[in-house]
Amino acid sequence: MTSAETWRVNWFPIEKCIEFIEATGIDCFAPAIGTAHGMYSTEPVINFDRVKEITTRKAVPIVLHGGTGLSEDTFRRLIQNGCAKVNISTKLRCNLRTVFGRTSRASRRSMIRSKLIKSGSARR
Ligand SMILES: [Zn+2]
């Protein structure tokens, strides 16, 4: 059994997911569905049925983690099954590193501070 198969066998049971959602009253839920943070070395096997089963039983928006590298078709299918929030961080960080990697530390700080001030998130 591969590590991916072992992981799937040990997924938190749907029944326990529903119990958790009900017990906590959470506004959204991010179950294990086959995605992971970081870059995929092989095509991930997404469990679309798991997303559908949870959202069919509980009207809770599903949050996707590990969106970097997924195809447009995968995003569409996940959204059709109840995914309401998609997180894509690794690719964004890589792009930022590429851009900021060419600048000095002082210049990076200045750029970030200027962006934060424009958005009203930093003290002036
Ligand atoms: Zn995440």
Ligand 1 centroid distance, CA of 100 (Å): 22
Ligand 1 centroid distance, CA of 114 (Å): 27
Domain count of the fold of the chain: 1
Least confident window among 12-21, 28-37, 55-64, 102-111: 102-111
Q: Using alpha carbons only, what angle is made at residue 22 by residues 26 and 77, rounded to the nearest 5 degrees? A: 65
Residue carrying structure tokens 């970081």? 38
Ligand 1 centroid distance, CA of 53 (Å): 21
Residue 53's domain spans which residues?
3-88
Question: Which phi and psi (to 5°) does residue 8 adopt?
Answer: -65, -40
Ligand 1 centroid distance, CA of 87 (Å): 6
- Separation of alpha carbons 98 and 86, rounded Å: 23
Asked if the model's pLDDT at residue 59 lies above 80, the reply is yes
Q: Is 103 contained in some domain?
A: no
**What pLDDT does 115 receive?**
79
CATH of the domain at 39: 3.40.50.12600
Token pair, residue 116, equals: 């934060």
Ligand 1 centroid distance, CA of 123 (Å): 28
Q: Is 44 contained in some domain?
A: yes
Q: Is 118 contained in some domain?
A: no
Q: Is 84 contained in some domain?
A: yes
Q: Is 10 contained in some domain?
A: yes
Q: Find how far residue 97's CA is from the centre of its chain.
A: 20
Ligand 1 centroid distance, CA of 124 (Å): 31
For 34-54, the pLDDT digits (tens) are 999 999 999 999 999 999 999
Q: Is 75 contained in some domain?
A: yes
Q: Is 97 contained in some domain?
A: no
pLDDT, mean of residues 54-63: 95
By C-alpha distance, which of 43, 41, 93, 89 is closest to 64?
89
For 98-115, the pLDDT digits (tens) are 887 777 878 878 877 887
**What pLDDT does 41 receive?**
93
Q: Is 99 contained in some domain?
A: no
For 2-12, the pLDDT digits (tens) are 555 555 667 88
29 with 60: CB under 8 angstroms?
yes
Ligand 1 centroid distance, CA of 109 (Å): 25
pLDDT, mean of residues 60-82: 96
Could you tell me which residues are beta bridge partners of residue 85? 63
**Between 107 and 78, residue with greater pLDDT:** 78
**Between 76 and 96, residue with greater pLDDT:** 76
